A and B are shown apart, each in its own frame.
Chain A
Amino acid sequence: DAMVIQNPRYQVTQFGKPVTLSCSQTLNHNVMYWYQQKSSQAPKLLFHYYDKDFNNEADTPDNFQSRRPNTSFCFLDIRSPGLGDAAMYLCATRDWGTNTEAFFGQGTRLTVV
């Protein structure tokens, strides 16, 4: 059974049209990450939450925002998608305390037209 679920799997949006990607988890993990991954590159961390504590990466564009209304859900909002934002967006969770591995959702592949 999927433990980290991302919706949708594929998203096509128009240039400049806001889009929201969602992630939910059944693991009750306190840390949730959002990564952007482009072809042949490693995942790039955008931000992460530790419970409700939000941690933004210094080089994450202002165009990207996130919300975590509760432990189970986390959202990635792209306010004005540009062509360069086309990528796979990966959500991951981790149990901070046991220092175990991160569990990933299947990702949302975003296309900007």
Chain B
Amino acid sequence: RKEVEQDPGPFNVPEGATVAFNCTYSNSASQSFFWYRQDCRKEPKLLMSVYSSGNEDGRFTAQLNRASQYISLLIRDSKLSDSATYLCVVSLNAGNNRKLIWGLGTSLAVNP
């Protein structure tokens, strides 16, 4: 089993749609969780950190379920500019393990 798993997509949705991405992680000791966005041929950029209580930033909502080891990202009212790859990232933050564990990413295409 991969350490971080995501549905690769691609997700093709019309403008205005609501789309949800899911991510599961295998190590229950994981402590920090992030969603990054990566545009074609660009570097990943942080979209949101994910907190236990869930958090929202405009049209974006992130949820964490520690019991199920599951993270989600919800995008409401999709815009054309949301087209990108969304990467789920998990960090252990334990001892000397400072690595960020990356999912393979979920590709989103928002169509007019």
Q: Are B45 and A104 in contact (CB under 8 A)?
A: yes
| Chain A residues closer than 8 Å to B41, beta-carbon distance | 88, 109
Please tell me if the beta carbons of B99 and A45 are within 8 angstroms of each other in the complex: yes
Chain B residues near A101 (CB-CB < 8 A): 34, 46, 49
A70 part of interface (Cβ distance < 8 Å): no
Give Cα A90–Cα B89 distance, bound, in whole angstroms.
Answer: 16
List the one stretch of B13-21, B55-63, B100-108 in contact with chain A: B100-108
Asked if B43 and A42 sit within 8 Å, CB to CB, the answer is: no
Give the tally of cross-chain contacts (CB within 8 A): 46
Contact of A48 with B46 in the complex, beta carbons under 8 Å: no
Number of interface residues of A (CB under 8 A): 24
B93 near A106: Cβ-Cβ < 8 Å: no
Interface of B is mostly: loop
Is B32 touching A99 in the complex (CB atoms < 8 A)?
yes
Residues of A within 8 A of B111 (CB): none
A15 within 8 A of B: no
- Top-4 shortest CB links A-B: A104-B43, A42-B102, A101-B46, A42-B104
Residues of B near any A CB (own CB < 8 A): 31-32, 34, 41-46, 49, 87, 89, 91, 93, 96, 98-100, 102-105
- 15 residue pairs of the A-B complex, CB under 8 angstroms, read A31-B98, A42-B104, A43-B102, A45-B99, A55-B96, A99-B32, A101-B34, A101-B49, A102-B46, A102-B100, A104-B44, A104-B45, A105-B43, A106-B43, A107-B42
